[in-house]
Amino acid sequence: MKRTKEDYPSFNLFSIVGTWESVNLNPTVIIYRNDKEYLLSIIYVSETTKQASLATYEIQYSKMRRY
């Protein structure tokens, strides 16, 4: 798929796709592409129970040309 400027009108989301970890490794943030949508997943691991919690959000484009 060829990328065009119209695919990324105000911010190049493609440039930040990947896994991002904080200094203390909690939470882990993953930005990825699913077809034409970009998704943001946050994985948080509880220090007491060691249970992982996952939240996923769709990054949406607004009329203000911002994400």
Q: Where are the domains of the chain?
A: 5-59
End-to-end Cα separation, the chain, in angstroms:
22
Query: What confidence category does residue 60 fall into, taking pLDDT thresholds of 50, 70 and 90?
Result: confident
Cα dihedral 57, 61, 63, 64 sign: positive
For residue range 1-49, list pLDDT tens digits in order: 565 555 555 567 778 888 887 777 678 899 999 888 899 999 988 889 9
Residue that has been written with the tokens 């949508």 in this structure: 37
The model's pTM is 0.66
